[in-house]
Amino acid sequence: MAIRTKDLSKIGYTDNVARSKAVNIISKHCKHDSKETVLALLSDLLEDPGKYKDNDVWKQLAEHFAPTIEEKQFTTYLLADEPKGYKTYGGKFIDTLAKQQMELAMRLPVALAGALMPDAHAGYGLPIGGVLAVDNAVIPYAVGVDIGCRMSMTVFDAKAESLKRYAHQIKEALKDYTHFGMEGGLPFAQEHEVLDREEFRSTPLLRMFHGKALRQLGTSGGGNHFVEFGELELAAGNVLNLPEGNYMALLSHSGSRGLGAAIARQYSDIAREVCKLPREAQHFAWLDLHTEAGQEYWMSMNLAGDYARACHEQIHHNLSKALGLKPLANVNNHHNFAWQEEITPGRHAIVHRKGATPAGKGQPGLIPGSMATPGYLVCGRGTEESLCSASHGAGRAMSRQKAKEQFTQSAMKKFLSQAGVTLIGGNVEEMPLAYKDIEKVMPAQESLVDIHGRFIPRIVRMNKE
DNA sequence: ATGTAC
């Protein structure tokens, strides 16, 4: 008897809290019942929850739909009249809305410090490219919907020029060993120790999404996510400790797929219930880290981060093996995440980076451009005013909608062929000209990171449409 | 970003 989220949605269980409570009860008490019996009961319960209030097995779910015992506890907060100061890098590249969102963030009563990166643009709550340090709380929408969205680069024991010789094999391997889009998955079983983590048994939501995590392991999703091979030029004395020169390298960008999205949604829903803010700031609702929900989110967020890392590891492992390439080094970093950090001597805080690269002193990181412009291997300078952060890319110069209106498929094809880039899948929303010029964005953050390598994409796979 | 959408 396997009931999936989909089955529950169909019978009207549309919120994740109800769905996870249902799955929790089913897994404990309905092992021997048929799917039909259980679904019929769940439908009846939804229609008349009062009937199940005294039922030992189902009362928890009935209470969810018809709470009687006590009203939900919440606290109302006001914003400060004036925002706390924060530093902006590359301000001339940043739109007004993103700046306004950051000002709002700096008026939150829990806000301690913040910074805006040169690729910033408006987002849901905190802008993409926003860094926010708060006191003993975590803001799900300041981490982002794609928890643990990250970069990973593997440098191979092969010269950049051998890309030409490998081109056909690489294209075939990308088609066979990566998966994009929301439906389906890889055609062969994936295994990774992250799936054995006990956290997957510790909350109803994580129990519910373990199956999906298994099916989606090693896949890349959609939007701006990619897997690409290209030419890496490493500088002398680079953070990877590899000799100066050129290398063939693999770069990937993706996150925690359905698992992270479900965690983000569930806990931002809870945050908005317990933390009431003025309407314009409600997406900044936070969870106190001393509460059970706060602890659950923190644990789940960390699991989603490790899952996203595991997805990249699978991609790199599968492709290296298929192509018979020997990895020399790997560098990887989250850019949608929260960490506990010491922001000034003796002052610990929760630092959210939503589309921002950690850039502590000596810390390696990856800042991609677009599918046909350079990406950079960087080394953090530990600049306190940026909360030890840098941009996570060039940033969009125009919206997806505008890019669709502006560019045709044939124009993009021509652009890519002139740039010497082969694209598998992809769409005009990701047209390089829809992005800011990475060569202008990098100088705006030279006080934040040193450049140790320059990567030029050559064979790129992205989601189609 | 995501099998979305109070």
> Can you give the pTM of this predicted structure?
0.88
What average pLDDT does this structure show over A259-274?
96
What average pLDDT does this structure show over A290-317?
97
Nearest nucleotide over every DNA/RNA strand to the A6 CA, judged by C1': B3
Q: Return d(Cα A210, Cα A259) in angstroms, integer.
A: 8
Under 8 Å between Cβ of A262 and A8: no
Q: Please give the structure tokens belonging to residue A137.
A: 């709380």
pLDDT (tens digit per residue) in A407-448: 999 999 999 999 999 999 999 999 999 999 999 999 999 999
Nearest nucleotide over every DNA/RNA strand to the A259 CA, judged by C1': B2
* Predicted local distance difference test score (pLDDT) of residue A34: 87
* Predicted local distance difference test score (pLDDT) of residue A184: 86
Higher pLDDT, A308 or A49: A308
pLDDT of A399 higher than 60 = yes
Inter-CA distances, A331 with A153, A364, A425, Å: 5, 7, 26
DSSP state of A89: S
Percent of chain A with pLDDT over 90: 83
Nearest nucleotide over every DNA/RNA strand to the A222 CA, judged by C1': B1
pLDDT of A354 higher than 60 = yes
At A245, the pLDDT band (50, 70, 90 cuts) reads very high
pLDDT (tens digit per residue) in A100-158: 999 999 999 999 999 999 999 999 999 999 999 999 999 999 999 999 999 999 999 99
* Predicted local distance difference test score (pLDDT) of residue A72: 67
Taking C1' of B1 and every protein CA, the nearest residue is: A146
* Predicted local distance difference test score (pLDDT) of residue A73: 85
Which nucleotides on chain B have any atom < 7 A from a protein Cβ?
1-5
Q: Which residues touch strand B (CB under 7 A)?
A: A 9, 145-146, 149, 182-183, 212, 216, 221-225, 254-255, 257-258, 261, 265
Q: Return d(Cα A208, Cα A201) in angstroms, integer.
A: 9
Nearest nucleotide over every DNA/RNA strand to the A212 CA, judged by C1': B3
How is A258-296 classified by DSSP, letter by letter?
A: HHHHHHHHHHHHHHHHHEE--GGGGGG--EETTSHHHHH
Higher pLDDT, A336 or A21: A336
Percent of chain A with pLDDT over 70: 98
CB atoms within 10 A of CB A450: 17
Taking C1' of B4 and every protein CA, the nearest residue is: A261
pLDDT (tens digit per residue) in A146-190: 999 999 999 999 999 999 999 999 999 999 999 999 988 999 999
pLDDT of A356 higher than 80 = yes
pLDDT (tens digit per residue) in A17-75: 788 888 888 888 888 888 888 898 999 889 888 888 888 889 888 888 887 655 568 99
